[in-house]
């Protein structure tokens, strides 16, 4: 039986609450109300339903029950989880592939508007793979690195090359257990093959491949995405930004970029600063163009350019409900199909841009990296042309926004801790060894309308800070903290335990560090590896007091991240429903590999 929740149960964010009240006035549904109306299936949510073939779906509800083919609950749960991990790894890694192709096109001078912004990072990354850097032009190095990275997706044998950046002991463990990914696409394809009817039917063997697939994401697909984004758009460093719906402006053409890949959003940022486009916006009667972001695209341009974040995953519909958004420009991942129907109640245009993603009823302006700037300008002109259609009677923008400072890449944390002449993780290791900091918690991942938006994120962040735990964040979790003001310099230090406070004050860092988008969870792998290499805490990641939490997860990508974190030696905790709760004894004690 559906149960309607109160608005304050939907979200702890006051801006969201205002918008949800507005939705109620306008009798418009959102993910929050749809979650109330759509009672989840207990069998499916526990991973106990097998719909891998036409003999089913088989729903296993009793002890000892098997599917039509004889598949046991263990097998079915392992298959379902592995398929989800493969899908998550595919999403991240396909993003990584596109970034590698963009690096190639840029190196060849065929990518309009792009350049190599961070030559130091290019040289650093190239040197991991013994690509010669001395005496070579950045384009030459980038060309070779792009070829190497592109080859990681289709590689059939051997080991993906970024895996060699893991601690030596961890690499050895992976080899002993035979889980080092051979190639990104190969592991994802094999995950689908093994879980087809009548294939791998030993749950431990299936899960072993889930680990291999997850590692292909963390130590290849996602890591490639982060590396190339930094090389092309600059490695993030602290910058002032803002978050929440109050960043949408009444008197400007509002363009919200939503999705994941920085290739398009960075170009829209560049186009929005073009005098000709600004003039065009003014000629349309506005005061110019106001860009903001949703989801991980928001993080990408927030941490590099200081472009404000309109919000996290559950804010995408709320931004449209303001009635003040001329265009929501989307690429891939975490984009709700409901946006199109909701936008029809306003003047907002939903513009799809990826060759991989179309939404029925949306306007499609296809992105092509070879003429990216031209396309970005075309998208902005479309938004500007739509400004005249805004109905002022339907406009409602909550006046709530918060300053924040994102941009804590692992390079910056290293520099910040040790100073420019002796960049090092020594002070962090020492602080842990002396007990002033009890450990590091990565609080990451999504919003989920089945729980109160941001509540769990903020609750665990605040509790851990009191317990002297340094918090690092990515994805929608980082935006949740940003909206609450926890990412603002030394704000919130009064709520922080004495040891952590002392370290934050000495080093000059906030107690919560925004490290980027979800693919940038690989930055956390790098931090943990560098902490191991710094010495004193142990010779592998599992010796570091580190935990990864995804309190409000909903995406298959979150499951892929959890898998590579566990397989890298981190402790992992998920909130909400477990996709394998039907086999708790088999999985819950495997939180550390
Ligand atoms: Ni991550 Fe980014 Fe947000 Fe979850 Fe979606 S935006 S990749 S999946 S919802 S954190």
Q: Answer whether residue 585 shows pLDDT above 60.
A: no
Do the strands 546-550 and 439-443 form a parallel or antiparallel pair, or are they unpaired? parallel
Could you tell me if the CB of 445 is within 6 A of ligand 1?
yes
Q: Is the pLDDT of residue 588 over 60?
A: no
In this prediction, residue 63 has a pLDDT band, given cuts at 50, 70 and 90, of confident
**Given this model, what pLDDT does residue 411 score?**
87
What is the mean predicted confidence (pLDDT) over 488-497?
Answer: 78
Domain co-membership, 228 together with 285:
no
Q: What is the mean pLDDT of residues 132-148?
A: 97
**Sign for the pseudo-dihedral over CA of 529, 85, 262, 30:** negative
Give the range of the structural domain holding residue 172, as residue numbers without chain letter.
73-233
In a domain, 190, yes or no: yes
Residue 320's closest CA among 337, 333, 332?
A: 337
Same domain? For 372 and 480 the reply is no
Ligand 1 pocket mutation, candidates 259, 301, 315, 476, criterion most atoms within 8 A of CB: 476
Distance 91 CA to ligand 1 centre (A): 11
Last residue of a domain, one of 363, 394, 425: 394
574: β partners: 550
Tell me the C-alpha distance between 517 and 513, whole Å. Answer: 12
Question: What's the whole-number mean pLDDT along residues 578-585?
Answer: 74
What's the chain's average pLDDT? 94
Assess whether pLDDT exceeds 50 at residue 56: yes
Do 389 and 412 fall within a single domain? no
Looking at residue 159, which CATH number applies to its domain?
A: 1.20.1270.30
Average pLDDT over residues 138-158: 98
By alpha-carbon position, which residue is closest to atom 1 of ligand 1? Answer: 518
CATH number for the domain harbouring residue 575: 3.40.50.2030
Indicate the burial class of 307 (C-beta count within 10 angstroms; 0-12, 13-18, 19 or more). buried
pTM: 0.96
Give the alpha-carbon dihedral of 522, 526, 527, 531, to 10 degrees: 150
Question: What are the tokens at 371?
Answer: 């003429």
439 and 358 housed in the same domain = no
Closest ligand 1 atom to 333 CA: 5
Q: Are residues 267 and 137 part of one domain?
A: no
CB contact burial 331-358 (16+ within 10 A = b; e otherwise): bbbbbbebbbbbbeebbbbbbbbbeeee
Distance from the CA of 312 to the center of ligand 1, in angstroms? 8
Q: Does 296 sit in the ligand 1 pocket, CB within 6 Å?
A: yes
The first and second tokens of residue 240, run together, are 């002032």
Which atom of ligand 1 has the smallest separation from the CA of 554? 4
Say which residue, 445 or 591, is predicted with more confidence. 445
Q: Does 321 contact ligand 1 (Cβ within 6 A)?
A: no
Q: How many CB atoms sit inside 10 A of residue 280's CB?
A: 19
**Within this chain, do residues 36 and 113 fall inside the same structural domain, yes or no?**
no
Q: pLDDT value at position 587?
A: 47
Indicate whether 285 belongs to any domain.
yes
pLDDT value at 21 more than 60: yes
pLDDT digits (tens, 9 = 90+) for 433-453: 999 999 999 999 999 999 999
Domain boundary, last residue among 233, 252, 287: 233
- DSSP for residue 218: I
Q: In what order do the strands lie in the sheet with 546-550?
A: 512-516, 469-474, 439-443, 546-550, 571-574
CA distance readout (Å), 571 to 209, 436, 439, 558: 20, 21, 12, 14
Query: Tens digit of pLDDT for each residue in 345-398?
Result: 999 999 999 999 999 999 999 999 999 999 999 999 999 999 999 999 999 999
How would residue 591 be classed by pLDDT, with cut points 50, 70 and 90?
A: very low
Residue that is last in its domain, among 359, 394, 429: 394
| Angle in degrees, CA 563, 569, 575, rounded to 5 | 50
Q: Distance between CA atoms of 181 and 166, rounded to whole angstroms?
A: 13
Place of tokens 């790098």: 526
Ligand 1 within 6 A of 314 CB?
Answer: no
**How many angstroms is it from 475 CA to the middle of ligand 1?**
6
197 within a domain of the structure (yes/no): yes
334 lines ligand 1 (CB under 6 A): yes
**Per-residue pLDDT band at 577 (split at 50, 70, 90):** confident
Q: Is 480 in the pocket of ligand 1 (CB under 6 A)?
A: no
How far is Cα 261 from Cα 562, in angstroms, rounded to an integer?
A: 21
Ligand 1 geometric centre to CA of 107 (Å): 30
Mean pLDDT computed over 258-263: 96
Contact 369, 114 (CB under 8 A): yes
Q: Averaged over 518-537, what is the pLDDT? A: 94
Residues 228 and 250 in one domain: no
Q: How many residues does the chain have?
A: 593
Does 103 lie in the same domain as 54?
no
Question: Can you spell out the DSSP letters for 508-558?
Answer: T--SEEEEESGGGHHHHHHHHHHHHHH-SS-SSGGGS-EEEEETT--SHHH
Residue to mutate, 88, 218, 222, 313, ligand 1, most ligand atoms under 8 Å from C-beta: 313
Mark whether 147 and 267 lie in a shared domain.
no
Closest-CA residue, ligand 1 atom 7, reads 518
Q: What Cα–Cα distance (Å) separates residue 6 from each residue in 178, 305, 452, 454, 455?
A: 50, 37, 10, 16, 15
Q: Taking residues 457-480, report their average pLDDT.
A: 96
Mean per-residue pLDDT for 293-306? 96
Asked if residue 84 and residue 54 are part of one domain, the reply reads no
Ligand 1 pocket, 91 CB below 6 A? no
Residue 266 CA to ligand 1 centre (angstroms): 18
Tell me, yes or no, whether 448 lies in a domain: yes
Q: Is 144 among the domain residues?
A: yes
Question: What percent helix, strand, coil does the chain show, rounded to 5?
Answer: 50, 10, 35
400 domain-assigned: no
Return the residue whose CA atom lies nearest to atom 2 of ligand 1.
296
Query: If you measure from the C-alpha of residue 280 to the centroid of ligand 1, how many angstroms do you get, rounded to a whole number?
Result: 34
Dist. CA 555 → ligand 1 center (Å):
7
491 found inside a domain: yes
By alpha-carbon position, which residue is closest to atom 4 of ligand 1?
446
pLDDT score for 420: 56
Separation of CA 542 and ligand 1 centre (Å): 26
Same domain membership, residue 452 and residue 566 = yes
Number of domains in the chain: 4
Q: Cα 363 to chain center, whole Å? A: 25
Q: What is the mean pLDDT of residues 569-586?
A: 82
Q: Is the pLDDT of residue 419 over 80?
A: no
For residue 511, is pLDDT > 80? yes
Strand, helix or coil at 573? Answer: strand
Q: How far apart are the first and last CA of the chain?
A: 40
Is 521 part of any domain? Answer: yes
Peptide bond into 577 cis (omega under 30): no
Same domain, 348 and 493: no
State how far the Cα of 47 lies from the Cα of 80, in Å rounded to an integer: 6
pLDDT tens for each residue of 306-350: 999 999 999 999 999 999 999 999 999 999 999 999 999 999 999
Question: Residue 590 pLDDT > 60, yes or no?
Answer: no
Model pLDDT, residue 490:
67
């Amino acid at each position: 039986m559906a149960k309607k929740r109160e608005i304050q149960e939907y979200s702890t964010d006051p801006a969201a609450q205002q918008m949800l009240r507005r939705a109620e006035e306008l009798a418009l549904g959102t993910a929050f109300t749809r979650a109330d109306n759509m009672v989840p299936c207990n069998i499916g949510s526990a991973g106990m339903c097998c719909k891998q073939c036409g003999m089913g779906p088989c729903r296993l509800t009793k002890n000892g029950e098997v599917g039509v083919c004889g598949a046991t609950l263990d097998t079915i749960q392992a298959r379902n989880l592995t398929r989800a991990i493969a899908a998550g790894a595919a999403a991240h890694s396909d993003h990584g592939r596109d970034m590698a192709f963009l690096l190639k096109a840029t190196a060849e001078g065929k990518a309009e508007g792009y350049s190599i912004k961070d030559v130091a990072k290019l040289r650093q990354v190239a040197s991991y793979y013994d690509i010669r850097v001395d005496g070579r032009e950045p384009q030459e190095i980038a060309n070779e690195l792009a070829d190497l990275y592109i080859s990681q997706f289709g590689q059939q044998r051997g080991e993906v090359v970024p895996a060699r950046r893991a601690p030596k002991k961890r690499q050895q463990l992976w080899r002993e257990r035979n889980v080092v990914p051979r190639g990104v696409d190969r592991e994802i394809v094999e995950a689908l093959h093994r879980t087809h009817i009548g294939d791998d039917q030993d749950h431990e063997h299936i899960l072993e491949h889930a680990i291999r697939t997850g590692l292909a994401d963390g130590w290849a697909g996602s890591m490639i995405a982060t590396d190339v984004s930094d090389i092309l758009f600059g490695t993030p460093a602290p910058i002032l930004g803002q978050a929440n719906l109050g960043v949408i402006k009444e008197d400007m053409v509002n363009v919200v970029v939503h999705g994941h890949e920085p290739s398009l959003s960075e170009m829209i940022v560049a186009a929005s600063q073009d005098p000709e486009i600004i003039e065009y916006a003014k000629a349309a009667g506005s005061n110019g163009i106001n860009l903001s972001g949703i989801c991980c695209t928001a993080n990408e341009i927030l941490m590099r350019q200081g472009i404000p974040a309109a919000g996290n995953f559950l804010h995408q519909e709320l931004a449209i409900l303001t009635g003040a958004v001329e265009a929501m420009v989307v690429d891939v991942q975490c984009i709700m199909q409901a946006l199109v129907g909701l936008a029809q109640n306003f003047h907002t245009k939903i513009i799809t841009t990826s060759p991989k993603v179309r939404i029925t009823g949306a306007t499609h302006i296809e992105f092509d990296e070879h003429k990216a700037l031209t396309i970005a300008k075309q998208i902005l002109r479309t938004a500007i042309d739509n400004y005249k259609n805004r109905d002022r009677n339907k406009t409602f923008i909550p006046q709530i926004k918060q300053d924040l400072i994102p941009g804590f890449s692992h390079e910056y944390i290293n520099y910040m801790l040790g100073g420019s002449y002796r960049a090092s993780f020594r002070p962090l290791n020492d602080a842990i060894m002396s007990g002033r900091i009890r450990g590091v918690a990565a609080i990451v991942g999504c919003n989920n309308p089945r729980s109160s938006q941001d509540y769990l994120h903020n609750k665990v962040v605040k509790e851990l800070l009191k317990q002297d735990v340094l918090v690092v964040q990515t994805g929608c979790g980082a935006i949740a903290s940003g909206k609450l003001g926890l990412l603002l310099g030394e704000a919130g230090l009064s709520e922080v335990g004495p040891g952590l406070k002392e370290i934050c004050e000495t080093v000059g860092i906030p107690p919560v560090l925004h490290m980027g988008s979800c693919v940038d969870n690989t930055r956390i792998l790098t931090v943990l590896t560098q902490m191991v290499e710094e010495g004193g805490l142990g010779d592998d990641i599992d010796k570091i007091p580190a935990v990864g939490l995804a309190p409000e997860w909903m995406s298959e990508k979150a499951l892929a991240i959890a898998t590579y974190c566990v397989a890298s030696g981190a402790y992992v905790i998920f909130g909400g429903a477990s996709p394998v709760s039907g086999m708790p004894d088999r999985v819950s004690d495997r939180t550390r590999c």
